[in-house]
Amino acid sequence: MVQSHESRLTSWVDVESTSDFPIQNLPYGVFKKSDGFTAVGVAIGDMVLNLAEVHEAGLFSKTCLAKENVFARDGLNDFMACGRTAWKEARRRITELLSLDCGTIRDDKALRERALLHMADVEMQLPVAIGDFTDFYSSKEHATNVGIMFRGKENALMPNWLHLPVGYHGRSSTIFVSGQDIRRPLGQTKADEADAPTFGPSRLLDFELEMGFFLGTGNKPGERINTKQARENIFGMVLLNDWSARDIQKWEYVPLGPFLGKSFATSISPWVVTLDALESFRTSSPPQEPKVLPYLEGDGQDAYAINLEAFIKSEKMDEPMRITATNFRHLYWSMFQQLAHHTVNGTAMRAGDLCGSGTISGPTEESRGSMLEICWKGTKPLTLTDGSERKFFADGDTVIIKGWCQGDGYRVGFGEVRATILPAEQVDL
Task: State which H helix or E strand residue 337 sits in.
Answer: helix 335-343
What is the pLDDT at residue 181? 98
Q: How far is CA 393 from the centre of its chain?
A: 21
State the pTM of this model.
0.96
What is the pLDDT at residue 210? 98
Residues of the chain with CATH 2.30.30.230: 5-124
- 129 and 55 in contact (C-beta within 8 Å)? no
Selected catalytic residue, list 142, 330, 341, 342: 142
- 233 and 215 in contact (C-beta within 8 Å)? yes
Task: State which H helix or E strand residue 382 sits in.
Answer: strand 382-383
5 is catalytic: no
What is the pLDDT at residue 6? 64
Residues of the chain with CATH 3.90.850.10: 133-422
Q: Distance between terminal CA atoms of the chain?
A: 56
**What's the rounded Cα separation, in Å, for the pair 320 and 313?**
4
Task: State which H helix or E strand residue 339 sits in.
Answer: helix 335-343
DSSP string, 211-250: EEEEESS---TT----HHHHHHHEEEEEEEEE-EEHHHHH
Per-residue burial over 226-261, b if 16 or more Cβ lie within 10 Å, else e, is ebebbbebbbbbbbbbbbbbbbbbebbeeeeebebb
Three-state SS for 108? coil
Q: Please tell me what DSSP assigns to residue 45.
A: T
Q: pLDDT of the chain along its 429 residues, tens only? A: 444 556 689 999 999 999 999 999 999 999 999 999 999 999 999 999 999 999 999 999 999 999 999 999 999 999 999 999 999 999 999 999 999 999 999 999 999 999 999 999 999 999 999 999 999 999 999 999 999 999 999 999 999 999 999 999 999 999 999 999 999 999 999 999 999 999 999 999 999 999 999 999 999 999 999 999 999 999 999 999 999 999 999 999 999 999 999 999 999 999 999 999 999 999 999 999 999 999 999 999 999 999 999 999 999 999 999 999 999 999 999 999 999 999 999 999 999 999 999 999 999 999 999 999 999 999 999 999 999 999 999 999 999 999 999 999 999 999 999 999 999 998 765
H-state helical runs in 81-152: 84-98, 109-115, 140-151
Phi-psi category of residue 34: left, alpha or beta, with phi > 0 → left and psi -120 to 50 → alpha:
alpha
What is the pLDDT at residue 429? 57
Phi, psi for residue 15 in degrees, rounded to 5: -135, 125
What is the pLDDT at residue 2? 46
Q: Which CATH architecture has domain 133-422?
A: Alpha-Beta Complex (3.90)
Domain 5-124 bears CATH identifier 2.40.30.170: no
Q: Please tell me what DSSP assigns to residue 371.
A: H
**What's the rounded Cα separation, in Å, for the pair 338 and 134?**
10
Q: How far is CA 397 from the centre of its chain?
A: 21
